[in-house]
Amino acid sequence: MSTSVTASPAKSGAPRLRTPRKKHTPGKPKRNVLLTALMALMVLYTVVPLIWLVINATKTQSGLADSNGLWFAHDFALWDNIRDTFTYHDGIFGRWLLNTLLYVVLGAGGATLLAVLGGYALAKFQFPGKRAIFAVVIGAVAVPATALAVPTFLMFSKMGLTDTPWAVIIPSLVSPFGLYLMWVFAAEAIPTELLEAARMDGASEVRTFFQVALPLLAPGIVTVLLFTTVATWNNYFLPLIMLKDPDWYPLTLGLSAWSSQAQTIGGDVIFNLVITGSLLTILPLIAAFLFLQKYWQSGLSAGSVKE
């Protein structure tokens, strides 16, 4: 940065130095030590249990008792633990994995489909009672799912659906948060002029939705799908009160049963299998988030900046 010399208007013989001004670099964020420290604590709180899970999944049952929880044991038994997890009790873990996939495909997939259709209709069509529906959706988001578990059980019990896969799949089809998210996303992502142009060209409402609106909704669809998948994959309380047959357990309920069995006097000590099963349970979710990262990030940020 150079310093310029200019002549004074009063005295031409005495030059005056002009002090340079520091230019502000736009777009450069300021560091906040407190926020950085809080974020570091949150990262530690999230990562340390995952590291503990990975390390202890490599240990045998005796290695869990003889070694430090945050360091490896002398023997590396990860592959043996994975094999024992899938073969223990006639391979029931594989059955629980298939059950969880069934609940996710039908429950989370159906919830995403209903949220996309309902959110698009609420965002782009005007009809009587729309404000009332908005109030109902917001109210449903505020109600915790555990508060509806017992009434749902009583209703399903009278219909004879308890202890069946439908007792888990049907409640999973309702996602008020997913409906609200798709409502907001569709309102911002789909220009109304584009829909009107398609209708003027003679396209039906079905064709307009599938060929014009649906491609624009892709980031929001992936975001809702991930939210509903995680909610269904980690669902514990609903299967706990709905299912009695272990053959229909999801992974969450099955691993809980194994943990209770390991703590029972006289039962098999299988904490190494519980830990390994827990690691295998979270790997598909981590892979899904990493693979679909660019889609759900753009979906969450939609509508945050207006041009």
- Predicted confidence band of residue 265 (pLDDT cuts 50, 70, 90): low
pLDDT tens digits for 83-108? 999 999 999 999 999 999 999 999 99
Do the domain assignments include residue 146? Answer: yes
Do the domain assignments include residue 8? Answer: no
- Predicted confidence band of residue 14 (pLDDT cuts 50, 70, 90): low
Q: Which residue has the tokens 């069509």?
A: 125
Do the domain assignments include residue 12? Answer: no
Q: End of a domain among 76, 108, 142?
A: 76
Task: Look up the pTM and report it.
Answer: 0.82
Mean per-residue pLDDT over the chain, rounded: 86
Residue 141 shares a structural domain with residue 177: yes
Residue 224 shares a structural domain with residue 163: yes
Dist. CA 104–CA 217, nearest whole Å: 21
pLDDT at position 22: 53
pLDDT at position 298: 59
pLDDT at 5 over 70: no
Full domain range(s) for residue 41: 33-76
Q: Residues 270-294: what's their mean pLDDT?
A: 90
Q: Mind spelling out the 3-state secondary structure of 239-282?
A: HHHHCCCHHHCCHHHHHHHHHHHHHCCCCCCCHHHHHHHHHHHH
What CATH number has the domain bearing residue 254?
1.10.3720.10
pLDDT at 292 over 50: yes
pLDDT tens digits for 219-235? 899 999 999 999 999 99
Q: End of a domain among 46, 76, 106?
A: 76
For 66, residues 6+ apart whose C-beta sits below 8 A from its C-beta are 73
Residue 170 shares a structural domain with residue 253: yes
Residue 67 shares a structural domain with residue 208: no
Residue 216 shares a structural domain with residue 70: no
Residue 238 shares a structural domain with residue 282: yes
Q: At residue 17, what are phi and psi to the nearest 5 degrees?
A: -85, 135
- Predicted confidence band of residue 301 (pLDDT cuts 50, 70, 90): low
* Tokens representing residue 242 in the block: 């709905």
